[in-house]
Structure 1
Amino acid sequence: MRNVPFALILVTVAAGVPGAAYGGEAPETPGAGVYTATLADEFYLTEDLMLSGVHATRDITFTRPATWTLTADPVLHVAFEHSAALIAARSHLTIVVNDHPIGTVTLGEDNVTGSTFDVRIPRSMLQDFNHLGFLVDQHYTDDCEDPFDPALWTRVRTTTAIDLAYERKPVEGELLKWPYPLVDRLGYGPTQVTLVTTGAPSKETVDALGIVGFALGRLADYREVDAAEPVASSAEARTPALLIGTTAELPEALTLTGLASLAPDEGMVALVPNPADNTLPVLVVTGGGPEGLLKAARALAGQDRYQVLSGTVSTISQVSPANPPPTKQKPLPAPPATKFTLKDLGIEGQTVRGFYASSIRIPLKLEGDALAQPGGGSLRVDYGYSAQLDSRLSSMEVRLGGLTLRTVPLDKVAGESQASVSVPLPQDILAADSNIDIVFHLFPRDFDECERVADHQISGTVYASTTVELPRDHVAEMPDLSLLRFGNWPFTALPGSGGTVVALPDAPDARAEAAAFILATRFGKLTPAPTPDFSLVRGADITLADRADKHVILLVDASAHTLYEGLVAASALTLTGGPARLLANGKEVLLAANVRTPYGTIEEAFSPANASRAVLVVRALREDGLAPLVESLTDLGKVKKLSGNVAIVGADLDVRTLSVATIQRWGTVAVATAATREIQRNWWVLGAMVIGGIFLLTAFVRVFAQARGSRE
């Protein structure tokens, strides 16, 4: 998935599947429907598939969800267009599934633009993972032709979709398969979860919610987790349901499992069918008391712990602390070390083939406060390329941020298997979210325009030993909401950065619980640390002084929130109030106004207990609660709109930002580095000083010469 900081792209759910967070429509027929999976949404393609040249192919993988039974053959709707120069007698687009052709369409003058082609995919040939291929043969003449002529092209649109008619399978309650069926790795769209809660959870329940949510976010990975409107009983849920709480808070936990009771220090994890719909699972995490509940949460969320659980119900009497499941994030953020390889980023070696070889991208996901030192960095590309290349025309190009840094000829007739080249990475175009692209321009040797030309045998490879060296300082002007786009920075939940605490209202209602749970799943997905520092708490249970070493996120609604009220009393925030709003910088009032519609706000400020730690206040004042605001923090497009220290989020999630806080610098740089940067920024001053020095030296020499001459 396109990946990113609180910032992930939410997949829109098509007809027949429960919708996105809060208020999505469930299927009209329970457990059955038609799901439409598009290349843009479910396959995460940001650009159309281009097929260029005489012969070209593009492949994608699609799945058959394990929780579904297909009730009809899927139908593929191909949206395409092609060059008007193609001749229909020799130009065709063929669809292939698992190496079997299933349909062909002629590319002629009657379907040049805005065309569609529907083809049925036999269910009998489908597996868990399926290869969908788009193959073209395209020609612009019956005579000899240039096989790489730019007039030879067909474009498959990202609106291309597969309709999957399905019905859900009855749930098999088996913890040994956890996280299935809550998370179906073969499924489409976000994993839908309904939180079953009566509100006003204990502090241990809030803690357990964070533990389970963080682990579920890691296990769901690219599928993410969305929360439907919370309900008071599992029978009301229209998606997979989750019960987290003690048996006193949620007596239904015992009813669902058939147990009479649990000891106060005994935990229980259960995976059972929903009594109201046996195609929907219910996950129960409970305990006879707070101690037992936390045991159950840690057993389910702990790596090398949950793998032991099996059957429909498991009770836990003892569990030792464990890390959550390992991150599945790829590529990984850059490690703190100055020098790292592609393997350190979770990127394996890659080979590309053919004249139209795609680029190999290396994302540099740096810390939000990362600042390249003067002189920039360097990239050592370890690469190889095949024989049979035209050594006069073939090359490898290295780009940073879309700008070409260097082009290397591929001029060995026999190819090379172990070549290296060093490329400087200029400081002024390095950013915390830079992309390095390596592009192979591959031309086959000695091709004949009158014969069939193959280019699949020509290739270029970039090895995982490719190394980036990037000395960097860590400096930021705070508060600055725009830095959230860099992996939630500074709210990263990394132990070295101070960790992150999310504070709910003093007595959270069901919607606040659901919003906090979704936030926990996002941290699980995005935080790569093996041992993260993350927790959920109630606002009344801590003070900022207690957590002075932590960054804190406050989820605030219309109910009491002791931690938030303390920030207001300390004049730590710039925008406060409801309909009667007050904008201030410290004690200085900038604006007092009454607004008819008090939209939600997101504000970043300094912790009164530690000026090197930040607080993020997510405040909802409307009936729809915190969910839309949390959603705005999980959508890359909306996060990129944030800047300054305050954002006002409208009903349709439009964002308006302002900057009224006093800015402070976090971090320091070495004296030599600071001096170099000042010289770079003020080079004209240095030039004037040099010229002035020359004049002074010249004047001194003249005076000295005159004095010496008069003595003689």
Structure 2
Amino acid sequence: MTAFAVDTGKVRLTKFYFCLGLLIIALLAGAVRAQTIYAGADKRPDSTHYALALQQIGNLDDDLALRGVDDRQGLPFGIRSDQHVKRLQLDLAYRRSPALIEQLSHLNVLLNGEVVSTISLSEPRHDEDGWNRVKADLPTQLLQPYNQLAIQLIAHYTLRCEDPVHPDLWADIGKQSRLIFDVEPLVLPDELGLLPSPFFDPRDVRRLNLPIVISGVTDARLEAAGVLASWFGALAGYRGAHFPVSTDKLPEHGNAVFIGRAAEGVAGMNLPEPVGPTVTIRPNPNDPTGKMLIVTGRNDEEIMSAAKGLALGAQTLSGATAQFNKLQVEPRQPYDAPNWLPTNRPVTLGELLPVDDLTRRGRAAPPISINLNLPPDLSNWRIKTVPIKLRYQQSTTSDDDEGALNVSVNHTHIARFPLADRMKTGQQWMSGDLSAIQRTVHVPLDKLGSLASMQFQFGYRVPPQEECRNSLLDSRRSAIDPESTIDLSGIPHHIAMPDLAAFSTSGFPFTRMADLSETIAIVPAQSGPSEYGALLTLLGRAGRVTGYPATGIKVKHGAEAADLVGKDILLIESGKPSPLLTQWADRLPQAERSDNHAAAVSGWKPGDIITRLSNLLGTRTHPSPTAVSARSSPAYFAGFESPVSSSRSVIVARGKDGQQLLSAVELLIDNEAQAQRVQGGLSIVYDNRVESVSKGRTYYVGNLGFYQTTLWFFGRYPLALIAVYLLGALLAGAVFYSILHARARQRLRIQDSDE
């Protein structure tokens, strides 16, 4: 037997190099895999690095004001469920009183109640606008799905005894301050129970941008897409929503919605054959970190059922796939949109705002704000005000406090109620509690509009303080009772049309029915992604207004007159005018005619006689001298009465091509200032600006009732009233003449018989 000597050192070294090689190979493989998985996410806009201004996070109109020796203001913000925050930074803009003692005054940054940074006020760092700028890193380990960011001011202006509410104790936090996020994507499970995330995440305050892929476009599939667009629009709310449309390919990155049959799958979508209306969620084939929400069925009817089931019952779904049985949707009633203030009963303020948000602390607390969405066709012809039965209470006060409750609408002062003189100016409504008062406030209806904000501001005079006394204890508590009511019942619905402002702000007249069941949308026969995207973006805005999916919408690629009877019509146009628009060219506020075609005027349609008389006596309004013709403009919105049905409306959204049409529609979402310029009967869009031209014959939508309509008609047209008076006088004269003539003849016969 031969013995071999083994060099154990060399063996160990060989094993070491072998293991090291395996480790390097594993690391390289992991890096390649990670690069493959996250390459798409890195290319996504704002997927790894984005900033949110405090104005956007808190929907702020003004800067955050900090007052006194110790004051703080906070804002909530959330973290998307499909993102992990690697780094979070606060880019703070502030101004402060020059009288503050730099060594004793500072700003604290708090995250979820923990002080995470202290900013000294000793070194000014002014930017071009005169704001001090400073950046602070926030610890990501404190982050939760929902977070609270607060800025605290500690301020002193003297080394001696100081007044805790001295006017020199102040600092302002600029609304342009930002939170800067550095994030990486997370892969979520294929779980419908997470809906609406990740397609819409309520923690994300940015505008929703959700691609929708429609395979084998048909009218029914466009309707299904409209249902989902309006649902996501309702969820997005104030954020706004855009829906880029594709018909032949999936998005390269992120989340998307797919609508179509399995057998007609777009490249990359290998779907099993469904057995009924089906909704499923799976990874995006082009981006493993993204998700596809797939709405499918064996035919168009089942696809529509799946879309309705998803929009109305998403909160009940679970698992990766769900199927729907026969779906029954309750019919909606006019003006019953969830986001609109009911007009058939008094509404308590507790229904509009949580009880905690109706309470304020301190002598100079911020106002209590309540947003109101009203139908835009409320008539103020005979009813000028809206009654608010206001109940409020506050901590026991003395007459020296000079406290008051100021009521404003859209920051316009409406009423002021002193708080100290309770027995003289208020009515006791809670036995034994003299701080609880009931008052009635009459708010002018024309001050409300379709979008209104009511502010209730409690304010108290700060009592004078002697030097070197105890600090001021601010223990004030003020509240609006949640049983306070606002009452719109009894106000009729009646509005002069066309009114593109009502369409721009409230989607009217389509949103009169929350499910858009009395609306038909007509798209060009040769439509493409831009036209479909414009339609879905408008339907998303309608969902934002109503808070309900458009389960009753009808969509047609071109339509016959019989399809339009009894419907409000949304006409999507691009390129060459459609036959329908050509036929109705003379109805446009500014006619757009073909060179060789003159449209015939449709005859009178049966309708309300008084309304028709109003139209007959109405006068045309003329455009301003600076108006640009609709025909030469890149895009425009127009409104006129439907030639098919009286008191029904046609809204035209038209662009010279699909992209200009889509840009004009997106302007309504992205630019609030320009959207407010969409008014009258014609609004022309060019260079991202809107110019409105009122032109066309006025018609009326709604019903005042026979008696009120008669009074309104004669009040608007006094010549008609004079004519009625003259006719009445002639009739009365004829009656009296007949009576007197008959009596004279009878008397003559009696005389003849006596002779």
Q: Same fold (TM over 0.5)?
A: yes
**Is the partner of 2:234 in helix, strand or coil?**
helix
Provide, for residues 202-235 of structure 1, a one-character-per-residue CA deviation record: whole Å limited to 9, x for no partner. 122112112222222233444443234636222x
Aligned residue in 2 for 1:689: none
CA separation in 2, counterparts of 1:423 and 1:495? 30
CA separation in 2, counterparts of 1:427 and 1:681? 24
Change (3 A) 1:647 1:593: closer
Query: Does residue 399 in structure 1 map to residue 408 in structure 2?
Result: yes
CA separation in 2, counterparts of 1:590 and 1:54? 60
Which moved further from structure 2: 212-221 or 282-291?
Answer: 212-221
Provide, for residues 118-166 of structure 1, a one-character-per-residue CA deviation record: whole Å limited to 9, x for no partner. 1111111111111111111223222333332333211100111111111
Which moved further from structure 2: 380-389 or 119-128?
Answer: 380-389
2:668 to 627, 630, 633: 633
CA separation in 2, counterparts of 1:680 and 1:320? 49
- Code of the residue aligned with 2:395 in structure 1: it is S
- Code of the residue aligned with 1:457 in structure 2: it is S
- Code of the residue aligned with 2:308 in structure 1: it is R
- Code of the residue aligned with 1:386 in structure 2: it is S
CA separation in 1, counterparts of 2:713 and 2:104? 61
- Code of the residue aligned with 2:677 in structure 1: it is K
CA separation in 1, counterparts of 2:710 and 2:166? 52
1:287–1:296 CA contact under 8 A, matched in 2: yes
CA separation in 1, counterparts of 2:630 and 2:513? 39
Query: Does residue 537 in structure 1 map to residue 573 in structure 2?
Result: no
CA separation in 2, counterparts of 1:595 and 1:486? 22
Query: Does residue 368 in structure 1 map to residue 368 in structure 2?
Result: no
Which moved further from structure 2: 496-505 or 36-45?
Answer: 496-505
**Is the partner of 2:253 in helix, strand or coil?**
coil
| CA positional deviation for 1:393 | 1.8
CA separation in 1, counterparts of 2:46 and 2:443? 54
Q: Within 5 Å, which residues of 2 pair with 1:127-142?
A: 127-142=144-159
1:51 to 63, 66, 84: 66
Aligned residue in 2 for 1:62: 77
| CA positional deviation for 1:60 | 0.5
Q: Within 5 Å, which residues of 2 pair with 1:283-432?
A: 283-303=293-313, 306-316=314-324, 318-322=325-329, 332-337=339-344, 339-345=346-352, 348=355, 350-372=358-380, 373-374=382-383, 376-387=385-396, 391-401=400-410, 402-410=412-420, 416=434, 418-426=436-444, 429=447, 431-432=449-450
Aligned residue in 2 for 1:460: 478
2:422–2:435 CA contact under 8 A, matched in 1: no
Change (3 A) 1:460 1:177: same
- Code of the residue aligned with 2:498 in structure 1: it is P
**Is the partner of 1:553 in helix, strand or coil?**
strand
CA separation in 2, counterparts of 1:118 and 1:466? 44
CA RMSD, 1 decimal = 3.9
Provide, for residues 296-316 of structure 1, a one-character-per-residue CA deviation record: whole Å limited to 9, x for no partner. 22332222xx44543333344
Which moved further from structure 2: 42-51 or 429-438?
Answer: 429-438
Change (3 A) 1:511 1:176: same
**Is the partner of 1:517 in helix, strand or coil?**
helix
Change (3 A) 1:622 1:456: farther
**Is the partner of 2:376 in helix, strand or coil?**
coil
**Is the partner of 1:302 in helix, strand or coil?**
helix
**Is the partner of 1:89 in helix, strand or coil?**
coil
Provide, for residues 139-198 of structure 1, a one-character-per-residue CA deviation record: whole Å limited to 9, x for no partner. 322233333233321110011111111111124211222222211222241232222246
2:212 to 180, 186, 195: 195
Q: Within 5 Å, which residues of 2 pair with 1:442-457?
A: 442-443=460-461, 448-451=466-469, 453-454=471-472, 456-457=474-475
| Runs (5+) with no aligned partner, structure 1 | 1-24, 683-712
Aligned residue in 2 for 1:601: 636
Q: Within 5 Å, which residues of 2 pair with 1:15-34?
A: 28=43, 32-34=47-49
2:242 to 213, 219, 226: 226
Aligned residue in 1 for 2:649: 614
Query: Does residue 653 in structure 1 map to residue 671 in structure 2?
Result: no
2:642–2:650 CA contact under 8 A, matched in 1: yes
**Is the partner of 2:108 in helix, strand or coil?**
strand
- Code of the residue aligned with 1:204 in structure 2: it is A
Which moved further from structure 2: 660-669 or 269-278?
Answer: 660-669
CA separation in 2, counterparts of 1:574 and 1:586? 14
| CA positional deviation for 1:614 | 0.8
2:242–2:666 CA contact under 8 A, matched in 1: no
Provide, for residues 62-86 of structure 1, a one-character-per-residue CA deviation record: whole Å limited to 9, x for no partner. 1121110122x31111100112222
| CA positional deviation for 1:507 | 4.3
Provide, for residues 547-583 of structure 1, a one-character-per-residue CA deviation record: whole Å limited to 9, x for no partner. 4332221111226745434433xx3223354998999
| CA positional deviation for 1:668 | 5.4
Change (3 A) 1:443 1:598: closer
- Code of the residue aligned with 1:379 in structure 2: it is I
| CA positional deviation for 1:420 | 1.3
2:583–2:600 CA contact under 8 A, matched in 1: no
| CA positional deviation for 1:458 | 0.8
Aligned residue in 2 for 1:13: none
**Is the partner of 1:371 in helix, strand or coil?**
coil
Which moved further from structure 2: 48-57 or 486-495?
Answer: 486-495
2:97 to 53, 63, 83: 83
- Code of the residue aligned with 2:343 in structure 1: it is P
CA separation in 2, counterparts of 1:338 and 1:581? 55
| CA positional deviation for 1:352 | 1.1
CA separation in 2, counterparts of 1:454 and 1:418? 25
Query: Does residue 546 in structure 1 map to residue 563 in structure 2?
Result: yes
**Greater share of helix:** 2
Aligned residue in 2 for 1:484: 503
Change (3 A) 1:495 1:164: closer
CA separation in 1, counterparts of 2:133 and 2:596? 53
1:269–1:313 CA contact under 8 A, matched in 2: yes
| CA positional deviation for 1:390 | 6.6
Aligned residue in 1 for 2:731: none
Query: Does residue 123 in structure 1 map to residue 140 in structure 2?
Result: yes
**Share of identical aligned residues, percent?**
24
Give me the TM-score of the superposition, normalised by structure 2: 0.75
- Paired positions, count: 639
**Is the partner of 1:110 in helix, strand or coil?**
coil
Provide, for residues 56-107 of structure 1, a one-character-per-residue CA deviation record: whole Å limited to 9, x for no partner. 1101011121110122x31111100112222213321111111111112233
Query: Does residue 518 in structure 1 map to residue 534 in structure 2?
Result: no
2:574–2:658 CA contact under 8 A, matched in 1: no
1:396–1:410 CA contact under 8 A, matched in 2: no
Change (3 A) 1:139 1:179: same
Query: Does residue 101 in structure 1 map to residue 115 in structure 2?
Result: yes
2:391–2:436 CA contact under 8 A, matched in 1: yes
- Code of the residue aligned with 2:256 in structure 1: it is A
1:503–1:537 CA contact under 8 A, matched in 2: yes
1:80–1:157 CA contact under 8 A, matched in 2: yes
**Is the partner of 1:130 in helix, strand or coil?**
strand
Provide, for residues 33-74 of structure 1, a one-character-per-residue CA deviation record: whole Å limited to 9, x for no partner. 211111122432221101122221101011121110122x31
2:89–2:181 CA contact under 8 A, matched in 1: yes
| CA positional deviation for 1:665 | 3.5
| CA positional deviation for 1:387 | 3.4
- Code of the residue aligned with 2:404 in structure 1: it is S
| CA positional deviation for 1:648 | 1.0
2:348–2:484 CA contact under 8 A, matched in 1: yes
- Code of the residue aligned with 1:465 in structure 2: it is E
Aligned residue in 2 for 1:41: 56
Change (3 A) 1:389 1:548: farther
**Is the partner of 2:506 in helix, strand or coil?**
coil
2:506–2:542 CA contact under 8 A, matched in 1: no
Provide, for residues 422-447 of structure 1, a one-character-per-residue CA deviation record: whole Å limited to 9, x for no partner. 23334675544454322101346685
1:208 to 221, 224, 231: 224
**Is the partner of 1:483 in helix, strand or coil?**
helix
Aligned residue in 1 for 2:680: 644
Provide, for residues 313-341 of structure 1, a one-character-per-residue CA deviation record: whole Å limited to 9, x for no partner. 3344x33124699xxx9994321136332
Larger radius of gyration: 2
Aligned residue in 1 for 2:722: none
